[in-house]
Structure 1
Amino acid sequence: MTKAPAPPPASAPIIVAIDGGAASGKSSTARALAARFGLLHVDTGSFYRQVCAKLMAQRIAPDQTEPIEAGLAAVTFSTQVVGNTAQLLIDGHAAGDDIRSEQVNTHVSHYAALPAVRAALLAYQRSQPEVARKHGFRGVVMEGRDIGSVIFPNADFRIFLHADQAARAARRAAEGRVDAVAERDRLDTSRKAAPLLCPPGAVDIDSTHLTLEEVVEKLSALIAQKLPPLSSC
């Protein structure tokens, strides 16, 4: 049977905010929810990775405040929608595979901790629900580390995913990726600008012993109270 068309987007796009540390399951969960509910998937971690890669390519270190501020003031951020995912374009250029490299993994938290970097991306991130509406999506599922606390503190759904460090390190190893999970946790939770935390009132889920499917089902039941899933027929 032909898949039923999606209903027209609501006037106010639904916002699902998912926060959590590295390898907590944010991306896989967000992608599954985006497909199930007709939402635009927005991976804000990739935005910070892209900015990190650009600054590193320009040989600008995290402690070089003035060059960072000048460099970010000179760039233009825009969005390219590929499938149901929002991709950041910096001066019209999309991210390359280098943003998932070991080098970027090592340094991204240092750049992401800088107030200048977070301020540069703030308005851009907040523009994504309107991007979703214009492209016919019902809203956004946005993942990151400060979505429910800073970017969209009044999101329709605020979710915090976490898992113990051993489980998260094992997940990265299974993906064939090198990622200093413990060190990134330390940097992300201790930074002064928008630290990683579970926002008050958010749905807190420990995914250590849950499968991806179990996490998705828990959150789908929650979201379906306000937004019915798309027909699977």
Structure 2
Amino acid sequence: MSEGFTIAIDGPAAAGKGTVSKAVAAHFGFAHLDTGLLYRAVGAKVLAGIDATDAARGLVAEDLEDDSLRTPAVAQAASKAAVIADVRAALLDFQRSFAARSGGAVLDGRDIGTVICPEAPVKLFITASAEVRAKRRFAELAGRGIEDSFEAVLADVKARDARDMERVEAPLKPAADAVVIDTSDLTIEQAVAAAVEVVLKASQR
């Protein structure tokens, strides 16, 4: 596998793309970037009263290490910030520079295969039903001591899907040549194995 090999992984919230991406990166010894953290960091700054575009332009690596980035409120703010064209433009160069690094890179997000790295030799779209994803998110929140009803979590998942898929700038959708992996009925191990198999086949072309 040549240096600079890029793996683009997209998909909706709680489909398992983060888990799969980290495992694939570890398997091949590639660097990994959860691009959603960039938008969460912007969302956190918006909640603190900073303009979204200003927040995106002033983002630094340390902003991605804030433990509060995983809260539902930040997730909502991130999703809203992500529809702003100037915010997406401000974060574009950061993501493309990461993708081009030597030694290989795995990027996961909403528009990696369609906008950020359309020439990536491997594009995956990790998905699952809204109900399955809501169950996963509900369990995750409960495990962190965050109380919410399943109905509210499901409504939030569906609202984020609609916002991500219907936005004008870089809507969430599989790239034309992406391999779709539905994790609804897969274990983590099965999903990772499926992704690794796709990468290995692509590297042998």
Q: Which runs of 5+ in 1 are unaligned?
A: 1-8, 61-66, 78-88, 229-233
TM-score between both structures, scaled by the size of structure 2: 0.86
Aligned to 2:65, the other structure's residue is in SS state coil
Please tell me whether residue 197 in structure 1 is matched to residue 197 in structure 2.
no
Q: CA RMSD in A?
A: 2.0
Does the aligned pair in 2 maintain the 1:37–1:227 contact within 8 Å? no
Does the aligned pair in 1 maintain the 2:21–2:107 contact within 8 Å? yes
Distance in 2 between residues matched to 1:107 and 1:71, nearest whole Å: 12
TM-score between both structures, scaled by the size of structure 1: 0.77
Aligned to 1:160, the other structure's residue is in SS state strand
Percent identical residues? 38
Deviation track 1:6-62 (CA, whole Å, cap 9, x = no partner) reads: xxx84x4110100000001101001111111111111000110001111221x14xx
Of the three residues 160, 168, 187, the one matched with 1:184 is 160
Of the three residues 79, 96, 105, the one matched with 2:66 is 96
Residue 225 of structure 1 deviates from its aligned partner by 2.9
Aligned to 2:122: 157
Of the three residues 20, 23, 27, the one matched with 1:36 is 27
Letter in 1 for 2:29: G
Deviation track 1:117-165 (CA, whole Å, cap 9, x = no partner) reads: 10000011000034x42xxxx3011100000000001101001111101
Residue 224 of structure 1 deviates from its aligned partner by 1.8
Q: Which runs of 5+ in 2 are unaligned?
A: 143-147
Aligned to 2:145: none
More strand by share: 1
How many aligned residue pairs are there? 193
Of the three residues 137, 140, 145, the one matched with 2:110 is 145
